[in-house]
A = this chain, B = another copy of it.
Amino acid sequence: MKRDASHGAGRDVRTVRITDVARAAGVSPSTVSKALNGSGSLREATRERVRAAAEQLGFVSDAGARALSTRRTFIVGLLSTDNVGRFSLPVMLGAENALSVGEISTLVATARRGSVQEQHHLRTLVARRVDGIIVTGKATDPREPIAVPVPVVYALAPSTDPDDMSVVPDDAAGMRLVVDHLRTLGHRRVAHVGGRPEHRTSQVRLASLRASLAEAGMELVGEPLLGEWSEPWGRQAVDLLLRRGGDAAERPPMTAVVCASDQLARAVGDRLRERGVRVPHEVAVTGYDNWQVMWEASRPPLTTVDMDLERLGRRAAERLLAAITAEPDGGFADSGTELVPPRLVVRGSSMADD
């Protein structure tokens, strides 16, 4: 780890001065200043020689940092998929708001992931000399990294390279909140209805559900039912669950159904009611997303998990700005995946108010 020269009072840290760079490059200190600022009229060969000497010696000057800052355009690119995304939209809004507070403008570019159009957009963003790029996807499935000469942060959909900067919702924590809530209410037998099994979201939520139930000494009733992200599938899944219970006159085999989305939870609640099962008195239902259109229309309204996607967007913007303003020789301030904690929203589908 590189020691910070500004704190380097100790003898072992040698502070590199502008005169050291000048001597190494065989030029005057003012030439060093000009070369690193990109100002003045120097031959490119001289400029290069100074830069090489500065880099070799590990020279960092306030002037250099300022020069770097003046070379910024204060424009950030926002690359998004062209699928209309109710998940990516709040992320984009959160990022744009955080950036605009910092007087930074946002160039948007939407294209199908990995498409020729996406490559075209990236070239345009780089040609416009954006200071950095935020990449969002429509879901949390990892995507291949983009190759650009500026800092990049992946929001919602992480990069497949774990060393890249990614900001994603903490779905494992979300499922732990749900299980903890149900455990507190006394539930012991829980069924699971989820969406497409190949989606990262499905896998992370199910794995966390299993682990959390096991830890709490609760039972996952039967096989988890993964299918589609749609209401017809949610209704179908209820029929499958009640069939499992055997005789229709018997009580349902579970006291709660944990769903991987509000859309599914809404349909599960509808179908349970149609089959004569009272929610939440006989079976509690929980969703995921805190999507108003769905939780509000459900009878009763849904207990669910809010991923706080606007905050996720803000965090992505904050990390990008940190990387942009990082010292030129210090690499990026941080890397790796950051998890944004969710919160549980309790409503009538799990707790009756009568």
Residues on A lying within 8 angstroms of B by beta carbon are 75, 78, 82, 84, 86, 89-90, 93, 96-97, 100, 103, 105-110, 117, 120-121, 124-125, 128, 230-232, 263, 267, 270, 293, 296-297
Contacts and interface: CB of A to CB of B under 8 A. Distances in A.
A232 B297 contact: yes
A108 B110 contact: no
Among all A-B residue pairs, the 7 with the closest Cβ atoms: A231-B297, A108-B108, A105-B107, A106-B108, A84-B89, A96-B110, A107-B107
Contacts of A109: 96, 100, 105-106
Nearest to A77: B105
A293 B263 CA distance: 9
Contact of A93 (B78, B82, B105, B267): B82
Contacts of A230: 296-297
B84 A100 contact: no
A322 B254 CA distance: 62
Contact of A86 (B78, B86, B97, B100): B86
Contact of A105 (B117, B124, B267): B124
A82 B128 CA distance: 26
Contacts of A86: 84, 86
Contact of A103 (B93, B117, B124): B124
A96 B293 CA distance: 27
Nearest to A310: B84
A85 to B, nearest CB: 8
A110 B82 contact: no
Contact of A97 (B107, B110, B263): B110
Contacts of A90: 84
29 contacts: A75-B107, A75-B128, A82-B97, A84-B89, A93-B110, A96-B108, A97-B110, A100-B109, A100-B117, A100-B124, A105-B107, A105-B109, A105-B124, A105-B125, A106-B107, A107-B107, A107-B108, A108-B108, A230-B296, A230-B297, A231-B296, A231-B297, A232-B296, A232-B297, A263-B293, A263-B297, A267-B297, A270-B270, A293-B293
A232 B301 CA distance: 11
B297 A108 contact: no
A216 B100 CA distance: 53
A168 to B, nearest CB: 20
Nearest to A128: B105
Q: Which interface residue of A89, A103, A121 has the most chain B CB atoms within 10 A?
A: A89
A281 to B, nearest CB: 19
A89 B297 CA distance: 22
A86 B75 CA distance: 26
Contacts of A125: 105
Contacts of A103: 124
A308 to B, nearest CB: 14
Nearest to A294: B293
Contacts of A128: 75, 105
B121 A100 contact: yes
A108 B128 CA distance: 15
Given A86-B86, A231-B297, 16 more contacts: A84-B86, A84-B89, A93-B110, A96-B108, A100-B117, A100-B121, A105-B107, A105-B124, A105-B125, A106-B108, A230-B296, A231-B296, A232-B297, A263-B293, A267-B297, A293-B293
